[in-house]
Amino acid sequence: MLSVLLDWLIIAITSYTVGYGFLRLMSICIGREVSAGKNANVLRLLTGFMLTNVYAEIWSIFLPVNMWAVYILVFITLVIAYMCKQDMAETVNISKAPKPAVIASVAVILLMAYGSSRGYMHYDTTLYHASAIRWIEEYGVVPGLANLQSRYGYNSAEFAHNALYSFKWYTGRSLHCTTGFLAMVSAHLLYDKELFTGKRTIQSVDFVRIGLLYYLGVLFAQMVSPASDYVANLLIFDILVLMLGRVKDRTLPADHYVLISLLAIYGITVKVSLAPMVLICLIPFVYYIIKKDVRSILFCIVSGLVIAMPYFIRGYILSGWILYPSTLIKLGNPDWQVPIGEAQYDAKEISMWGRGITDATKWSEVTLTNWIPSWFAALDTVEKVLITAVITSTVVLVAIEIRLGLSKNRRGLQRYNILLELPIAWIMLLGVVTWFVGAPLVRYGLGFVLSFPLLVVGILYELVFREVRIAGINKDRTGSDRSSPGECKEIVGRALFLIIAGVMVLMKVKGLVVDIAGSLDRDCLIWQQDYEDPEAFTYEVNGVTIYVAKNGGGMGYNKFPSSIEVKDNIELRGSELKDGFRVK
């Protein structure tokens, strides 16, 4: 646990400083001061978290992500801190923060550090996450690595991030703390001062916060594992809260949305299933086009390319395909390219596994819908409720659109303060549809499946209980002490919100207590729980020993290099591992 806290301290310092420096650079590039707006410190942290990950990806293309990558990052951090020392000192002045908020923040940090220090090591982490991180630590990006094991070609940016902050070169063991760090930062988005102090009424974003709280409960016993699914789903909630959690007058500058849009692009590099989130980028981009703000448009384009390009380059080096296992985009015919048949089989296997079918050879037997009954029957009770909620929310969202479309008030969206919420709800629905059509394993798309119905409930809440603000004004003018219809609706609305929040919290409280109690006996107060280390047998490729798990699964981190099966059809491209693999 202590190692987690120290690692988080380094991640926080470097991320916050780099994020702060990026905002200053953005101000210079677009020619005006850029404010991080509400949740400013969290947004700076997330921006820096994203940029340090991009930095690790770029470094991995040329060199192993090890000691020198950290030293250069620290040097960059010191330069930014020196150049911005006066302004930064004011933003991180803890003495100005209310003591209850500081105490609550410390409690959250310690709780999440406990969860990040021990828990369930995800099956896929042992299968390939841990080994992929070690490849990055020792060799960077290796050409044709997906030929050794196809899953190495999945290329999540998160693996490079873990390698950057693993400190294997210093501690002798590879820490894996970035998932827990993002969860800890996300937990700070649950608090909203204006809501808790009664300065504003409940908004749609508060329902999304309920979903974030629930997901953190799901994640608590698993965030010790550096799984890309967890980071991707957290980013969905973070983006929604930052996008919808506006200030008192419910508006924010377009520049604020640029930062959030860049987080959406980054999310796709973590897990490509977040692709629908890229539509969020249209919000500030269209605004700049209307305003003919050329400098801001160029900044958006360049920033997006800087974030996305390392991901595509890494993917091409790893597998010979731009978006492995998809074979839709083909660029050249490098000798390390995974054969098209193997790539297509891998894509089918992912899709079939999500449908609950473990044999990809049965692909021809699966139609558009014949798998749905058995898939739904295999879900647990909570998952069935969530899928039912998604279907119901889709109907409600369509009904809302029809009702507003038929309204005589053509400015209905502005009247109901859901000008932003409705298009984002449709983007979340597109995310659900993409997940369902692609690989509908609930774990893969839980961020979409949770956030979409809650956002629709929030929109419905805005429509039904909007009179609350009007009622307050009328009471002040008349001086009457009688409860107005608007005030009655406010009471009902708050009760509804508390019921939904209470039910979802109670669903996870018991599990949280069990998770904590069940891991108290683990010796993880100093060091974080290490990767699993299964038994193995070996085979050779051009004289290099390759480990394979005896149980048919993955090998974890320690036995290296490894694969999930004997591959006798591959060879080294050169004399060393860094030269990569190719099919004979």
How do residues 394-453 score in pLDDT, each as one tens digit? 999 999 888 877 765 545 455 555 778 889 999 999 999 999 998 898 989 999 999 999
Dist. CA 118–CA 516, nearest whole Å: 10
Dist. CA 293–CA 310, nearest whole Å: 27
> Which residue stretches of 320-371 are H helix?
340-354
Q: In b/e form, how buried is each residue of 6-22, taking b as 16+ CB within 10 angstroms?
A: ebbebbbebbbbbbbbb
pLDDT at 518: 78
DSSP assignment of 249-278 equals TS---HHHHHHHHHHHHHHHHH-GGGGGGG
Q: Which of 32-36, 67-71, 77-81 has the lowest mean pLDDT?
A: 32-36
**Which distant-in-sequence residues (6+ apart) come within 8 Å of 451 by Cβ?**
208, 211, 236, 237, 240, 428
Q: What is the pLDDT of residues 238-286, one digit of tens each?
A: 999 998 876 444 445 678 888 999 999 999 999 999 999 999 998 888 8
- Confidence check: pLDDT of 16 > 80: yes
Dist. CA 329–CA 437, nearest whole Å: 20
Q: What is the pLDDT of residues 452-496, one digit of tens each?
A: 999 999 998 888 876 444 344 344 444 444 444 556 666 777 788
* Residue of 202 and 581 predicted with greater confidence: 581
Dist. CA 132–CA 162, nearest whole Å: 10
Mean pLDDT of 522-530: 90
**Which distant-in-sequence residues (6+ apart) come within 8 Å of 90 by Cβ?**
none
> What is the residue type of 482?
R
- Confidence check: pLDDT of 181 > 60: yes
In the β-sheet with 544-549, what is the strand arrangement from edge to edge?
536-541, 544-549, 562-563
Q: Please count the CA atoms within 13 angstroms of the CA of 82 that sit on its side-chain side.
A: 6
What number of other Cβ atoms are within 10 A of residue 142's Cβ? 24
- Confidence check: pLDDT of 105 > 70: yes
Query: Which residue, 221, 229, 259, is CA-closest to 124?
Result: 229
pLDDT at 349: 86
Q: Which of 23-37, 87-101, 232-246, 401-415 has the lowest mean pLDDT?
A: 401-415
Backbone angles phi, psi at 112, to 5 degrees: -70, -30
DSSP assignment of 450-475 equals HHHHHHHHHHHHHHHSTHHHHHHHHH
DSSP assignment of 518-552 equals HTTTS--SSSPPPPP---EEEEEETTEEEEEETTS
pLDDT averaged over every residue in the chain = 87
- Confidence check: pLDDT of 75 > 50: yes
DSSP assignment of 275-312 equals GGGGGGGHHHHHHHHHHT-HHHHHHHHHHHHHHHHHHH
pLDDT at 228: 92
Separation in Å, CA 233 to CA 7, 307, 391, 446, 458: 22, 19, 20, 7, 20
Q: pTM (2 decimals)?
A: 0.92
Split at pLDDT 50, 70, 90, the class of 203 is confident
Residue 570, classed as helix, strand or coil, is: strand
End-to-end Cα distance, the chain: 46
Separation in Å, CA 495 to CA 196, 462, 465, 505: 15, 14, 12, 15
Mean pLDDT of 526-531: 94
Sign of CA dihedral 353, 356, 361, 366: negative
pLDDT at 481: 44
pLDDT at 240: 94
Mean pLDDT of 562-570: 92
* Residue of 73 and 90 predicted with greater confidence: 73
The percent of residues in the chain predicted with pLDDT above 90, rounded, is 59
Q: Which of 54-68, 143-157, 506-520, 533-547 has the lowest mean pLDDT?
A: 506-520
**Which distant-in-sequence residues (6+ apart) come within 8 Å of 435 by Cβ?**
273, 444, 445, 448, 449
* Residue of 499 and 394 predicted with greater confidence: 394
Split at pLDDT 50, 70, 90, the class of 515 is confident
How many whole angstroms from its chain centre is CA 188? 15
Long-range contact pairs involving 219-222 (C-beta distance under 8 Å, separation at least 24): 219/115, 219/183, 220/112, 220/115, 220/119, 220/183, 220/512, 220/515, 221/115, 221/119, 221/120, 221/511, 221/515, 221/519, 222/119, 222/120, 222/122
Q: What is the pLDDT of residues 342-371, one digit of tens each?
A: 999 998 888 888 888 877 777 777 887 888
Q: What is the pLDDT of residues 231-246, one digit of tens each?
A: 999 999 999 999 887 6
Dist. CA 499–CA 428, nearest whole Å: 24
pLDDT at 187: 94
Token look-up 């690790």 returns 56
Most confident of 96-105, 278-287, 492-501: 278-287
Residue 581, classed as helix, strand or coil, is: strand
Separation in Å, CA 116 to CA 7, 106, 122, 180: 11, 15, 13, 5
